[in-house]
Copies of this chain bind each other. A is one copy, B any other.
């Protein structure tokens, strides 16, 4: 993995008092890893025959039904030049065209962070956790549900920076609705660059905002480094079913041309944006991703692109989105298999739920989603922490609870240690029948790292729990969250770079009048 660009590295060495202080406040919520290297194989729900069937059906969708590329004449020209059959805004793909274009897409790539120790691998056996993305509301530490502000945004960036089980600063950790919509991307990207030294995501709400993100990356990492390396990853949602709109296509083009990564993601509530069946949804997802990801290759062959899927389903009674139910888990498992066969890194899942509060519903749903996300072999996990209320609210308490779960997944993915120490025959011989292992040599040698140690769980006796105030999980999470935020210190950054970023943001803001829609 090449070192990150000179610009960012002019800052003080990673670590320092902030990092040390953070380390002290974070014991127990999982080892700090740059990303997870999964030692367990992915779980598969489709056999070769099933996979081939869905691939054939997706080819049929691409060829017969086609995908619409709306509001982007250039995209239609690109497709025509590549040999597609373009009728109006509808693109029909001759069999094999998309897969042929995708041959230039890397199956594994590195997203560089300004602190090289935090660069992540995307693809292969790596799993990267990024925070919740997109909510306009927050559930704050006083239990209020209200519109999110830039202060909330900065807080979630700080929390993701501090969390040892989060590898990525994410993107729209919440929507700072107190900033004009045509300027807020500048404050958001600036917050990721200034308040964290983990990798981050760019703006996609307009092609020129993607361009702004790339410019800011050039200030942070250096122009040459950005041209040769991926320093930014961005979320390109399909407007399912079978449609990409001009805003997303423009953002995708800007990022791909700048060699920056995109995650092409059919955003699907099955039953509304896709058929009510798992196989039908998988077929549509595959067709949409093949079209979108190969379009990235048309823009710049070799541009890193991720096979994304966001799959939930709706209540057929009310139309409301539901989470943590079995069908989306099956979609995740199946889509991950299709992505591996397409040779692309895969994104899905997270800690998704529909609950309005961080209660048992939130946790059941999130755990179901997260378990299937990890066992599917997902490479990039957006919404890994903090998601509440179907993605309408970023929740501080749930962020902390989810981080604990992410730490557990990290430990699980290590698999079974079969070394001599792992086999523990010395312990079995020393202890023998009818005794206990608490004091034996093997236990003494291993007890500090033996088991995952939850930050949130109360495992004490009922009486002790009572005497400590009968706290529920979210109350304990609230206390931890306040401590984390109180402990935060910004990672060091070269003052010249910081100034350059601030200047850029100020100038760009001056050039626009405020817009709130």
A65 partner residues in chain B, CB cutoff 8 A: 428-429, 432-433
Q: Is the CB of B408 within 8 A of A368?
A: yes
The answer for the CA separation of A311 and B368 in the assembled complex, in Å, is 21
Q: Is the CB of A241 within 8 A of B432?
A: yes
Top 8 A-B pairs, shortest CB-CB distance: A280-B424, A367-B367, A363-B363, A275-B424, A326-B412, A276-B450, A242-B433, A360-B363
Number of copies: 2
Q: Is the CB of B418 within 8 A of A460?
A: no
With A447-B276, A450-B271: A423-B465 Cβ-Cβ less than 8 Å: no
Q: Is the CB of A433 within 8 A of B68?
A: yes
Closest Cβ of chain B: how far from A266's Cβ, in Å?
A: 12
Q: Is the CB of B447 within 8 A of A416?
A: no
**CB-contacts of A412-456 with B (<8 A):** 412, 415-418, 421-425, 427-429, 431-438, 442-443, 446-448, 450-454, 456
Of the listed stretches A13-21, A38-46, A484-492, chain B binds A38-46
Closest Cβ of chain B: how far from A297's Cβ, in Å?
A: 21
Q: List 26 A-B contacts (CB under 8 A).
A: A40-B45, A54-B423, A64-B429, A65-B428, A241-B433, A242-B432, A242-B433, A271-B443, A274-B437, A276-B442, A276-B443, A277-B422, A277-B450, A278-B416, A278-B422, A280-B442, A282-B416, A316-B453, A325-B411, A330-B416, A356-B465, A359-B473, A361-B457, A361-B473, A364-B367, A375-B375
Q: Is the CB of B280 within 8 A of A433?
A: no
The answer for the CA separation of A355 and B456 in the assembled complex, in Å, is 10
A319 partner residues in chain B, CB cutoff 8 A: 438
With A356-B458, A451-B271, A462-B389: A424-B50 Cβ-Cβ less than 8 Å: no
Q: Is the CB of B412 within 8 A of A277?
A: no
Q: Is the CB of B401 within 8 A of A360?
A: yes
With A65-B433, A270-B451, A438-B271: A318-B57 Cβ-Cβ less than 8 Å: no
With A273-B436, A283-B423: A315-B453 Cβ-Cβ less than 8 Å: yes
The answer for the CA separation of A409 and B329 in the assembled complex, in Å, is 11
Q: Is the CB of A275 within 8 A of B461?
A: no
A121 at the interface (CB under 8 A from B): no
With A241-B433, A319-B438, A433-B90: A427-B325 Cβ-Cβ less than 8 Å: no
The answer for the CA separation of A450 and B283 in the assembled complex, in Å, is 17
A366 at the interface (CB under 8 A from B): yes
Q: Is the CB of B416 within 8 A of A451?
A: no
List 18 other contacts, CB 8 Å, given A241-B431, A355-B457, A365-B457: A46-B416, A90-B433, A241-B437, A242-B434, A275-B427, A276-B442, A279-B418, A280-B423, A281-B424, A282-B416, A324-B457, A325-B451, A327-B451, A329-B412, A357-B472, A360-B362, A367-B367, A371-B371
- Residues of chain A at interface, number, CB under 8 A: 128
A278 partner residues in chain B, CB cutoff 8 A: 416-417, 422
A392 at the interface (CB under 8 A from B): yes
A66 partner residues in chain B, CB cutoff 8 A: 433
Q: Contact check: which of B283, B320, B393, B448 meets A428 at CB < 8 Å?
A: B283
The answer for the CA separation of A275 and B371 in the assembled complex, in Å, is 26
A470 partner residues in chain B, CB cutoff 8 A: 356-357
A37 at the interface (CB under 8 A from B): no
Which of A359, A361, A459 has the most B CB atoms < 10 Å from its CB? A459
With A53-B418, A275-B428: A457-B366 Cβ-Cβ less than 8 Å: no
Q: Is the CB of A437 within 8 A of B272?
A: yes
A90 partner residues in chain B, CB cutoff 8 A: 433
Q: What does the 1/0 interface line of A309-335 toward B look like (CB < 8 Å)? A: 000011111111110111101100010
